[in-house]
């Protein structure tokens, strides 16, 4: 499709303005076809940027390695440019939107010379769903086009739904590498100077402008930029939820089904939970989504969720048959691998894949040939795969994808699950007393980290409220208030009993010897079963000052977890909780100022008074 065929006047005008500013040699409106996907891949292969993997080992798969300056989300160059600085809040980088646009326009000027401008109409969520939103990304990167084909629903069918006057989120992107006459790319095209990269969000006008990066969420603007940062603002303005949550379908031995949405900070087992293989006999877990959930209230009062994405953009290192077999099975074909190792026989490899690399040499993520590791580990500083190496794969290829994953009306959520990596204090599972208490639990979510991880004091808690710290597009105090407002509205309408229950989990408790007390992985199904039964009103809990904890014996422990260990995992650790409350009161909540809802401070008082009685 060419530009003149666009029926949406506002969209056509926006694209024409971008053409005038960026001066590409040609313009293509993406149709979403398989032929287009194949052609984009071939462009990168012909240009020496991509390599087709061995079709006997990885049919339909391709390998890329990026510039060393372009390997992950550029958080320091990610901006929330609201008109008022205070609306961005303390957890975001703020820049004046008018000044930022002038700066970026100067950089955008002529940035696509010698290249093709691709216009990508895409739907976040099943096309036509009342929970879905439409975006249009302008880019000069074929790599972005075929990754967007996998991660979203692209093409003419989206324009049909958009019509002549529908709402869309405009997403501008350029890799910032114009080409002179006869000039070709000699490597991964991007702006290598990190200080010239911009990933900018304009929440007052629902716009995204990205410049200089060609990788991941910096360039695939449907990912974190639209699906969370801008969508969180849309959700606030329109009365729904856009969350950094997986969505699980759980079926019990009697065939009863429930859906749970879960938010976990990084390194807390989110992807493994999304594709969990239960060890508990008779239970079944399937995936609706592994990363993002959009949720709206239905007429019946239940909260319905869709996965707005069409693919998985997963971290490769650490993924293996033992840690996540479903993910490994998903990526056997039709997958884009970026910054993994490339083996001599045309396959991929990364650290902790479960085996050494075949052959004498391997190409690392920098494109260098080095000796093949004989085990699945590499010396520190000599990693074959970048720690943020990724695979992009259609969700439809996941062997545990649920049949409802593309249902346009969404699935009804029975429970929310928050969690963190906490070696002490936080119990294995804790149910909130009510909605307000649940929002409180989400607001204090955090993980303890080591000095090696972020150069912080060992044992420091990095708070990541709702696992949304890098992704909330506005003031987080207002975000907590939005959750409280939705709960109050449901109760005022007599539908409070339809609200999801809220739980907090912690798979990472350690004993005095520093050993994990709970085996995790598939054994987490035992905790999910307890939650499932609580959603049905089971009398399997005891009331405590911190919430509802499992009754002794209500969670059947794995064979290697003793009764004494189980009791330790589900008790109230009074001194630890007193320290937790003090940390929240002194270090966490004050940063949100007068925008932190008073109800959350009240929860601290209620819990503190309850603990005094123990």
- Could you read off the pLDDT of 467-504 as tens digits, one per residue? 999 999 999 999 999 999 999 999 999 999 999 999 99
Q: Are residues 200 and 301 in the same domain?
A: no
Segment 230-235 mean pLDDT:
98
Confidence bin at 458 (pLDDT 50/70/90): low
Question: Would you state the structure tokens that stand for residue 396, as one six-digit string?
Answer: 């439809």
Residue 35 placed within a domain: no
Residue 44 placed within a domain: no
Pairing of the two strands 547-550 and 348-349? unpaired
Q: What is the pLDDT of residues 34-71, one digit of tens each?
A: 999 999 999 999 999 999 999 999 999 999 999 999 99
Helices and strands in the chain: count of H runs, count of E runs = 17, 30
Q: What is the pLDDT of residues 2-42, one digit of tens each?
A: 888 899 999 999 999 999 999 999 999 999 999 999 999 99
Assign residue 242 a region: left if phi > 0, alpha if psi is -120 to 50, beta otherwise? beta
Question: Would you state the structure tokens that stand for residue 51, as one six-digit string?
Answer: 């390599």
Q: What is the pLDDT of residues 165-190, one digit of tens each?
A: 999 999 999 999 999 999 999 999 99
Q: Are residues 501 and 560 in the same domain?
A: yes
Segment 536-546 mean pLDDT:
97
Confidence bin at 100 (pLDDT 50/70/90): very high
Confidence bin at 149 (pLDDT 50/70/90): very high
Q: Are residues 247 and 377 in the same domain?
A: no
Domain containing residue 368: CATH number? 2.170.8.10
Q: What is the pLDDT of residues 238-290, one digit of tens each?
A: 999 999 999 999 999 999 999 999 999 877 888 889 999 999 999 999 999 99
Residue 153 placed within a domain: yes
Confidence bin at 459 (pLDDT 50/70/90): low
Average confidence score pLDDT of the chain: 95
Segment 425-437 mean pLDDT:
98
Q: Are residues 218 and 205 in the same domain?
A: yes
Q: What is the pLDDT of residues 435-453, one digit of tens each?
A: 999 999 999 999 887 543 4
Residue 38 placed within a domain: no
Q: Are residues 388 and 410 in the same domain?
A: no
- Is 61 a catalytic site residue? no
Q: Are residues 176 and 270 in the same domain?
A: no
Angle between helices 476-492 and 435-443 (to 10 degrees): 170
Segment 143-147 mean pLDDT:
98
Q: What is the pLDDT of residues 107-134, one digit of tens each?
A: 999 999 999 999 999 999 999 999 999 9
Query: Residue 267 has what pLDDT?
Result: 74
Q: Is 310 helix (H, G, I), strand (E, B) or coil?
A: coil
Tell me which of 190, 268, 398, 535 is the catalytic residue. 268
Question: Would you state the structure tokens that stand for residue 184, as one six-digit string?
Answer: 């070709």
Domain boundary among 189, 216, 238: 238
Query: Residue 453 has what pLDDT?
Result: 40
Q: What is the largest CA-CA distance in the chain?
A: 78
Domain containing residue 99: CATH number? 3.40.449.10
Q: Are residues 185 and 325 in the same domain?
A: no
Q: Are residues 361 and 497 in the same domain?
A: no
Q: Are residues 165 and 120 in the same domain?
A: yes
Q: Are residues 247 and 322 in the same domain?
A: no
Is 454 a residue whose pLDDT tops 60? no
Residue 282 burial class via C-beta count within 10 angstroms: exposed 0-12, middle 13-18, buried 19 and up: exposed
- HEC readout, 56-106: CCCCCCEEECCCCCCCCCCHHHEEECCCCHHHHCCCCCCCCHHHHHHHHHH
Q: What is the pLDDT of residues 368-421, one digit of tens each?
A: 999 999 999 999 899 999 999 999 999 999 999 999 999 999 999 999 999 999
Contacts of 366 by beta carbon, 8 Å cutoff, 6+ apart: 65, 68
Q: Are residues 576 and 607 in the same domain?
A: yes
Confidence bin at 460 (pLDDT 50/70/90): confident
State which residues form the domain around 16: 3-30+73-238
Query: Residue 216 has what pLDDT?
Result: 93
Q: Are residues 441 and 471 in the same domain?
A: yes
Segment 331-347 mean pLDDT:
98
Is 455 a residue whose pLDDT tops 70? no
Across the strands, what pairs with 569? none
pTM of the model: 0.96
Segment 143-162 mean pLDDT:
97
Query: Residue 294 has what pLDDT?
Result: 98
The Cα 394–Cα 406 span in angstroms is: 12
- Measured over the CA atoms of residue 217, residue 219, residue 223 and residue 227, the dihedral's sign is positive
Compute φ and ψ for 240, nearest 5 degrees.
-140, -165
Residue 254 placed within a domain: yes
Query: Residue 116 has what pLDDT?
Result: 98
Number of independent structural domains in the chain: 3
Site of tokens 């490769």: 316
Domain boundary among 214, 238, 262: 238
Query: Residue 613 has what pLDDT?
Result: 87
Domain containing residue 598: CATH number? 3.90.228.20
- Cα R_g (the chain), whole angstroms: 24
Query: Residue 457 has what pLDDT?
Result: 57
Residue 332 placed within a domain: yes
């Amino acid at each position: 499709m060419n530009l003149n065929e666009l029926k949406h006047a506002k969209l056509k005008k926006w694209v024409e303005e971008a053409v005038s500013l960026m001066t590409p040699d040609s313009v293509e409106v993406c149709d979403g076809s398989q032929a287009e996907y194949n052609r984009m891949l071939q462009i990168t292969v012909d240009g020496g940027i991509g390599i087709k993997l061995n079709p006997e080992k990885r049919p339909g798969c391709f390998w890329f390695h990026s510039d060393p300056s372009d390997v992950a989300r550029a958080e320091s160059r990610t901006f929330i440019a609201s008109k008022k600085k205070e609306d961005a809040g303390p957890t975001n980088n703020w820049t004046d939107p008018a000044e930022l646009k002038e700066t970026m326009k100067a950089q955008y000027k002529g940035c696509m010379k010698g290249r093709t401008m691709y216009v990508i109409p895409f739907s976040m969520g099943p096309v036509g769903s009342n929970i879905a939103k439409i975006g249009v990304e302008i880019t000069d990167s074929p790599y972005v086009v075929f990754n967007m084909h996998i991660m979203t629903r692209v093409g003419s069918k989206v324009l049909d739904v958009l019509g002549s006057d529908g709402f869309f989120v405009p997403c501008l992107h350029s890799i910032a590498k114009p080409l002179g006459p006869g000039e070709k790319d000699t490597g991964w095209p991007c702006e290598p100077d990190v200080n010239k990269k911009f990933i900018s969000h304009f929440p007052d006008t629902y716009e995204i402008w990205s410049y200089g990066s060609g990788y991941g969420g910096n360039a695939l603007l449907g990912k974190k930029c639209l699906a969370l940062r801008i969508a969180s603002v849309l959700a606030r303005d329109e009365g729904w939820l856009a969350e950094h949550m997986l969505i699980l379908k759980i079926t019990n031995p009697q065939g009863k089904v429930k859906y749970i949405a879960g938010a976990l900070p990084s390194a807390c087992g989110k992807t493994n939970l999304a594709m969990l293989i239960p060890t508990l006999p008779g239970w079944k877990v399937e995936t609706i989504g592994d990363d993002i959930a959009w949720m709206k209230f239905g007429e019946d009062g239940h909260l319905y969720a869709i996965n707005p994405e069409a693919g998985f953009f997963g971290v490769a290192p650490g993924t293996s048959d033992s840690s996540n077999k479903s993910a490994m099975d998903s990526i056997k074909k039709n997958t884009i691998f970026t910054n993994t190792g490339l083996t001599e026989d045309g396959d991929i490899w990364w650290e902790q894949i479960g085996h050494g690399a075949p052959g004498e040499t391997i190409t690392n993520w920098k494109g260098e040939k080095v000796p093949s590791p004989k085990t699945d580990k590499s010396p520190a500083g000599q990693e074959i795969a970048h720690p943020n190496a990724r695979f992009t794969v259609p969700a439809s290829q996941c062997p545990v994808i649920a049949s409802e994953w593309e249902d346009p009306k969404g699935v009804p959520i029975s429970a929310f699950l928050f969690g963190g990596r906490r070696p002490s204090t936080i119990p294995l599972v804790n149910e909130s007393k009510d909605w307000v208490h649940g929002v409180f639990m989400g607001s204090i979510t955090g993980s303890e980290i080591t000095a090696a991880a972020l150069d912080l004091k060992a044992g420091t808690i990095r708070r990541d409220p709702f696992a949304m710290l890098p992704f909330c597009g506005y003031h987080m105090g207002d975000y907590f208030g939005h959750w409280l407002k939705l709960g109050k509205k449901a109760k005022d309408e007599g539908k409070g009993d339809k609200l999801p229950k809220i739980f907090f989990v912690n798979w990472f408790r350690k004993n005095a010897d520093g050993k994990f007390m709970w085996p995790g992985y598939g054994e987490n199904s035992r905790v999910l079963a307890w939650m499932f039964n609580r959603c049905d009103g089971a009398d399997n809990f005891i009331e405590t000052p911190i919430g509802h904890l499992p009754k002794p014996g209500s969670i059947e422990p794995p064979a290697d977890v003793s009764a004494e260990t189980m009791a330790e995992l589900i008790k109230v650790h009074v001194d630890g909780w007193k320290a937790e409350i003090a940390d929240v009161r002194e270090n966490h909540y004050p940063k949100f100022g007068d925008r932190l809802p008073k109800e959350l401070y009240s929860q601290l008082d209620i819990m503190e008074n309850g603990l005094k009685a123990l």
